[in-house]
Structure 1
């Protein structure tokens, strides 16, 4: 069923909102864009890994440098030792200490040459350095960086003050350490056991300020990029929210005014410049409001017309009943009873047609459409009409206008619809043609298929329809009837009901001149052709 499938598809598209159900649209847009910036902030985690790799690489280089220095010291003469150590520390900007097996310091590069690095006192540095260190600690806490001990120069410089030296003396294996200098720059240390004249442990320390400068520079660049992206995201989010939320609010306010009904003509903005989904929604709401207004107007007019149409027969019945008490003869009494009977029949026809006219739209929305051969339907209708005319049933006249039907080939005029309703519409059109045709006239009916449409044409020999009235004849209670017709025989709803039925089947019905140029009117019904292989609801 097509309509039920569309309804179920629409229900499936409505995914329930769980965690964001109470958020405004602006908040959601901001949240999504800021989340993208938060993902960008993950670069700080990468920088922590990057710093770790730099430290590991520097320590590995220190171990290699100590190995080369060990080889050089073994090959050098004793009087060349101090020169080699001095050149080594100047080249690597490091400090070398030597501890004997008893843990005593036997040599120190700073004792023979100017220091290659100086540990700076953070108390003597400007506030910008304090801010940078605070930022470093904050980022380390956010990314969960390992906590390293702070470095303090030992007052008693012995092997016991250096855990890595103690470890090297005990196990004979090189050891390394990472500490933070007072100004929170990496202070790296590496050891190596050397065997000169007596076993000694060589301790190399290095204040790797360049690592801190590199990491801070990368963090600064990332922070600048993040700030720019954040500002751009917020501005774009606000712009997007403005272009989405504001028109939605306008539409919501207009919908509320329509619901309250305080303004007779509520203008729902159509947003013609918008070609997106919001523009489509605005135009759909505007069209829906216009259709609703037309339906309300039609309902009000229909109620007024019903009241007007019912008043005449009711007044006539009342007059006849009141007159029964005043008449003296049976002939007059019989005449009044005949008038009352005719008015009651007229009321019955009016109520039946009014009931059908008011229910057709709702019934068509729930009707199952099936394949219908229009040619066979009309042929069956005309056969039944002829049988009733011969019997004089249902008011049919045997001496009325003749009806000619050009029957199409079976299966060529297939449509999808409600057979009973389509038959009612065509029957109303035929009744209208018969009522306007003279007794010796001819009503011509034709059903053909043209492309993707089925055309049903009904021509009569009546006076024709004024072009100015060709739309009015489909209005409810249209009262222009042929001369000589008894008053009240038609409710004025036949063609209105026919149009409602045909339009409910996505078709059209219109009045026009006859194609052969003869005097009379022609009503053309157009319906979408169907192949008979589908059933829709």
Structure 2
């Protein structure tokens, strides 16, 4: 049995009582007394150590906070201030700091922000160039219209007047096509960003498109479709309306360059994880120096069987834009036997 007393001087006194037995019978009790001052000192020492540990933890927390503030918060504030300056001043003289040497998430963030800023400037350059191209393309028919109207005032012969009126009509139609295609091209980026993609069987889609073209051009061209055997599905994650627009543009282009009675073929096949669609024609082919240029906006080659100005030069540029939006590629080449071949490649989906 253990008892604790507090003496008048405030010190603790510990007492332990132990019974003394003789032949299994308690004969006496033994009291052991000891001062509790050592226990008090031990407890006081224990609380002191806890207090010192608390102070050390607090100091370490302050030091680590200051260090992290310099390591994390300061570069983040620097990136934030720079981004705000770019937003307000809209100048390329201000660049996002390159923190890639940190090799951490903040370094990756700085690289992403630099790439994003560069993409923004590139986009602005593209818009500026597009506006300049639009102005140039509209100026051509306007100049022709102005010249025809001025000449119409002074000619007297009916035949000359009719010829000038035909020119006016052609120029007006050309401007109408230009404005329609320009409107489509200017909205395309925004519309593509809102498109909802789903798996589309390119084989089934091409059958529908080719059937439509065979119905309309059976008297002038031989249009054929070649697909893999065994009705193999060719699935692509895309928008059916947009991909139809691509194939329509490529087929229209092939038909416009192919002579009457010419052969236009569409071949689709799958190799591993890619699906390739080739559109061939019997036209004159593409000049080697123009194989990449033909995908530029407003590039237009004069057809051997068509009039100048019948096309806006935006069709292939729109094709490239749509195909790129779904992660595909498009390029052109000349067939060894003559004629052009447009090759569209998509990533296959399951």
- TM-score, structure 1 normalization: 0.56
Q: Structure 1: how far apart are the matches of 2:287 and 2:78?
A: 45
Q: Residue 12 of structure 2 contacts residue 37 of structure 2 at CA under 8 Å; is this kept in 1?
A: no
Partner of residue 134, structure 1: none
Q: Structure 1: how far apart are the matches of 2:46 and 2:296?
A: 79
Out of 187, 194, 216, the position equivalent to 2:11 is: 187
Q: Residue 214 of structure 2 contacts residue 223 of structure 2 at CA under 8 Å; is this kept in 1?
A: no
Partner of residue 162, structure 2: 334
Q: Does 1:509 align with 2:330?
A: yes
Could you report, residue by residue, the CA deviation over 1:472-528 in whole angstroms, capped at 9, with x for unpaired residues?
3222112444567522111111111001111222222122454xx434433211123
Out of 115, 122, 130, the position equivalent to 1:294 is: 122
Once the two structures are superposed, the pairs formed by residues 95-244 of structure 1 within 5 Å of their partners are 176-177=5-6, 181=9, 186-188=10-12, 208-244=36-72
Count of residues paired in the alignment: 334
Q: Does 1:375 align with 2:203?
A: yes
Q: Does 1:528 align with 2:347?
A: yes
Partner of residue 223, structure 2: 403
Could you report, residue by residue, the CA deviation over 1:299-343 in whole angstroms, capped at 9, with x for unpaired residues?
111111011101111221222233332221221221111111101
Q: Residue 317 of structure 1 contacts residue 343 of structure 1 at CA under 8 Å; is this kept in 2?
A: yes
Out of 476, 490, 496, the position equivalent to 2:297 is: 476
Partner of residue 460, structure 1: 281
- Change in Cα spacing, 1:298 to 1:190, as seen in structure 2 (3 Å) is closer
Give the deviation of 1:438 after TM superposition.
4.7
- Change in Cα spacing, 1:239 to 1:472, as seen in structure 2 (3 Å) is farther
Larger Rg: 1
Q: Structure 2: how far apart are the matches of 1:484 and 1:239?
A: 74
Give the deviation of 1:251 after TM superposition.
1.8
- Change in Cα spacing, 1:468 to 1:290, as seen in structure 2 (3 Å) is farther
Q: Residue 510 of structure 1 contacts residue 524 of structure 1 at CA under 8 Å; is this kept in 2?
A: yes
Q: Residue 443 of structure 1 contacts residue 461 of structure 1 at CA under 8 Å; is this kept in 2?
A: yes
- Change in Cα spacing, 1:238 to 1:495, as seen in structure 2 (3 Å) is same
Q: Residue 463 of structure 1 contacts residue 520 of structure 1 at CA under 8 Å; is this kept in 2?
A: yes
Q: Residue 328 of structure 2 contacts residue 347 of structure 2 at CA under 8 Å; is this kept in 1?
A: yes
Q: Does 1:280 align with 2:280?
A: no
Partner of residue 95, structure 2: 267
Out of 310, 325, 328, the position equivalent to 1:489 is: 310
Unaligned runs of 5+ in 2: 17-31
Q: Residue 436 of structure 1 contacts residue 461 of structure 1 at CA under 8 Å; is this kept in 2?
A: yes
Q: Residue 187 of structure 1 contacts residue 206 of structure 1 at CA under 8 Å; is this kept in 2?
A: no
Hey, which of these two has a bigger chunk of strand by percent?
Answer: 2
- TM-score, structure 2 normalization: 0.83
Partner of residue 233, structure 2: 412
Q: Structure 1: how far apart are the matches of 2:217 and 2:272?
A: 36
Unaligned runs of 5+ in 1: 1-59, 64-175, 193-203, 391-397, 532-537
- Change in Cα spacing, 1:386 to 1:444, as seen in structure 2 (3 Å) is closer
Greater CA drift, 260-269 or 339-348: 260-269
Q: Structure 2: how far apart are the matches of 1:521 and 1:269?
A: 47
Once the two structures are superposed, the pairs formed by residues 315-354 of structure 1 within 5 Å of their partners are 315-354=143-182
Q: Structure 1: how far apart are the matches of 2:304 and 2:134?
A: 24
Could you report, residue by residue, the CA deviation over 1:366-422 in whole angstroms, capped at 9, with x for unpaired residues?
2333443322322322332233336xxxxxxx54x6433213454522223222211
Partner of residue 364, structure 1: 192
Q: Structure 2: how far apart are the matches of 1:288 and 1:416?
A: 26
Partner of residue 160, structure 1: none
Q: Residue 280 of structure 2 contacts residue 342 of structure 2 at CA under 8 Å; is this kept in 1?
A: yes
- Change in Cα spacing, 1:513 to 1:268, as seen in structure 2 (3 Å) is farther
Partner of residue 446, structure 1: 267
